Amino acid sequence: MRIKTLIAGGGLAGLSCARELARANQSFLLVEKEERPGGLCRTIQSKGFTFDYTGHFLHFHKPEIKEWVLKLVGNQLKLRKRHAVIYSQGTYSEYPYQENNAGLPSGVVRENVLGYLEAALHRRFSGVNPPAAKNFKAWCLQVFGTGLSRHFMFPYNEKLWKVPLQQLTTHWMGRFVPSPRVLETIQGAFIKQASQSGYNATFLYPDQGGISVLPRAIAQGLPNLSLGVGLQKLDLSRKKAWLETGLDADYETLVSSLPLPRLAALTMGLPAALAKAARRLKATSIYNINLGIKGSQPIPYSWVYFPEKEFLFHRAGSVSSCVPTVAPKGHSSLYVEFSYGNSKPDPQALGKQAIQKLKKLKWLSSEKQVVTRVDLNLPGAYVVYDKDRDKIVAGLLDYYRKHGVYSVGRYGRWEYGSMESAMEQGIETSRKILGKN
């Protein structure tokens, strides 16, 4: 079979590229190994509840991408308000932690605020430049100070990343880790203030259908989507791909949104140094337990960060707190996220911990409230930005670019990307293929 453009992976990046090629009447074949398109943006329905692969909330920074999405999805997306908090020392503090210390024990507030001021003064007078910090741990100490680091930044990030924080660079943070602001940090030590800081204070989300509304709208009416068909092997010099169906395809251009190490493993004749480097790329995985429960909304929070060791999960929340229609009337929903590294998650043990702690937090009064439980495993969910990541990724992307392959999306670029950036990369790639860029 001869194909002009072969697109491997039907998540947002692959689908967005296909949508734009279709608009320009350019032929393509999209192969997706799962039976449903959407990648991480698929949604599961169970007993009247709607669950995503953990909270998936849509926020835009680029008006042109927002317009592109709204044209496809129409008025299904509604504006929602985030209510994010941190649970520590037996109390809830508004997000971000560094600007909302009121209500914490006085010793903790003192350590946090004085530590922050000391760090801020040190930066001011010593000329220390935090972006040049040698690793994430050092950066936290320079920017947040000892108290905020010890009480939140270190334990939370250790739980999420599952690697020593000295091994992480700061290149992933961007808008994801808001730096403390002096006045807000001091004021927030005395007064409880609902904060709208951070990149996702509001977001868009549909009433019905969960986040899969988005990939479904992009995929609607697209020709040549081959679902349940994985890419198996690639010969870049002959521009030939083998599919899991046993068929092979000769392509002119290949767009891949497969995880970069997976793409490397499928590529025949990849130079040994690159193949070896690709195997060193790391990611942490997420085990996500979703509960549909009987009874009224137990918490007013969209999500809650848990830095303390007592809680094995790093984040938990309730989508029904901001989107009541994800649960049937008289019911609500909860989700819990456990991060794991090389170990295999134990669903029974994690379920037990989730129920036990949700009861302790009084989000759940009895296990009998649980109407349905949906466990979702997200292997390789968060790319680990260790000191080797940038160099390895640049080397691999350069190699693929020279061989006419566009590796795109959160895992194709091996980055900490959003839904918006996955769609943007898909659209941009279609323009390159069409010769518009």
Ligand X SMILES: Cc1cc2nc3c(=O)[nH]c(=O)nc-3n(C[C@H](O)[C@H](O)[C@H](O)COP(=O)(O)OP(=O)(O)OC[C@H]3O[C@@H](n4cnc5c(N)ncnc54)[C@H](O)[C@@H]3O)c2cc1C
- Where does this chain bind ligand X (CB under 6 A)? 8-14, 31-34, 39-41, 54-58, 230-231, 257-258, 262, 286, 378, 381, 409-411, 417-420, 422
CB of 50 to ligand X, least distance (A): 15
CB of 119 to ligand X, least distance (A): 30
Nearest approach in angstroms of CB 232 to ligand X is 7
The amino acid occupying position 303 is: W
CB of 369 to ligand X, least distance (A): 25
The answer to whether the CB of 211 falls within 8 A of the CB of 56 is yes
Residue 240 CA to residue 317 CA, distance in Å, equals 45
Residue closer to ligand X by CB (options 58, 109) is: 58
Q: Tell the smallest beta-carbon distance from residue 14 to ligand X (Å).
A: 6
How many CB atoms lie under 10 A from the CB of residue 294? Answer: 14
CB of 239 to ligand X, least distance (A): 17
Pairing relationship of beta strands 28-32 and 2-8 according to DSSP bridges = parallel
We find the least distance from the C-beta atom of residue 267 to ligand X, in angstroms, to be 12
Residue closer to ligand X (CB basis): 170 or 257 = 257
Cβ contact 31:6 at 8 Å: yes
Query: Backbone phi, then psi, for 154, in 5-degree steps?
Result: -70, -55
Q: Which is nearer to ligand X, 144 or 414 (CB)?
A: 414
Closer of 331 and 410 to ligand X (Cβ) = 410
What is the token pair recorded at 176? 């994801």
Burial of 187 (0-12, 13-18, 19+ CB in 10 A): middle
Is the preceding peptide bond at 300 cis, omega within 30 degrees of 0? no
* Rounded Cα gap, residues 182 and 74, in angstroms: 41
Q: Report which DSSP code applies to 179.
A: P
Shortest CB 214 distance to ligand X, Å: 9
Q: 408 CB contacts (<8 Å, ≥6 apart)? A: 13, 14, 17, 255, 256, 257, 422, 425, 426, 429
Cβ atoms within 10 A of the Cβ of 330, count?
A: 8
Q: Which is nearer to ligand X, 14 or 145 (CB)?
A: 14
Three-point CA angle 342, 412, 36, nearest 5°: 85
Phi/psi of residue 255, each to 5°? Answer: -115, 125
In the complex with ligand X, which residue's Cβ is closer, 105 or 341? 341
Q: Is the Cβ of residue 9 or residue 345 nearer to ligand X in the bound state?
A: 9
Q: In the bound complex, what is the minimum distance in angstroms from residue 7's beta carbon to ligand X?
A: 9
Pick the closer one to ligand X by CB: 13 or 358: 13
Three-state DSSP state, 145: helix
- Residue with Cβ nearer ligand X (13 or 371): 13
Candidates 157, 178, 55, 179; CA nearest to 384 is 157
